[in-house]
Chain A
């Protein structure tokens, strides 16, 4: 079945450590996105990538980094510079970034907790 796979589902991190969240899609989608979800604040865009080897900052990129070396993969690194990293992280993709008529497909999410 085609879809987006995020791993792990739950992740615990000690303060001061970097951690990388995995996102893989087999939908052959060009565009991929990372959102952060906090209670009462909806989904906020962290980074997005329109095409391989290209990515742009979203609304809350500080303390995060990404790479897009392969079309299928868009990993997100939460660095120690992120002040409040505990959240639910969602990866999404759309078939073409330049069409406004495409829906977003989401992964199952990764719940990150800083301990």
Chain B
């Protein structure tokens, strides 16, 4: 019973080629988050939605954009990926204090 589903699980993209990561949820939670986790580092919050209200972290690069067309889906768009964007990208949802995570998308920029 997958509750937060991320696609694809693995993505390789070329330097500078736009890429979109997707996340869907069956929990009907009003909050959705995107985190970036680089090797041996803490997951870093990029942005989150509270319903349709978008909240961008101050240090999230402009290269990263997000869309939430409805409650169930959220997308992460990287307009011009750089080598430093190679990381695990984690989507999560919450209704209260506990966040539920997807399995992540491992993005490699070559």
Query: Do the two shown chains form a genuine complex with each other?
Result: no
* Residues of B near any A CB (own CB < 8 A): none
